Structure 1
């Protein structure tokens, strides 16, 4: 019962590495956010989203008259 008193601040049994595990999880999550942000930045700077938008625009429909494509798509 002595180990459960508020004055005794020593870690119990399996709680010794808890801080290290929490630090590792938070660090891994932070690195994932950084890598995802860098990938998004690179895609934006290369114009990847603009290229996808242009490819799906109505003027890029192959084999159709442009005025028909404009009318039917919008």
Structure 2
């Protein structure tokens, strides 16, 4: 960063800079206010547990589990 300040300033805040971030209130774009989404009969709920962003959905064992969102990938037009 020190030796390439011009390039760093150009990169900072770009989609490349925002490509992968730790999930927090500044980086998560989705609605985690206890929102439910149903697709092909599978219910998925997005919620918060304290500061953690959580998803409750069907797991590989066909049972529902809570999964903590650790990172965000992308920013627009789609975040995963």
Q: TM bucket by the smaller chain? A: under 0.3
Higher strand share: 2
Normalising by structure 1, report the TM-score. Answer: 0.27
Which structure has the highest helix share of the two? 1
Name which one, 1 or 2, has greater alpha-carbon Rg: 1
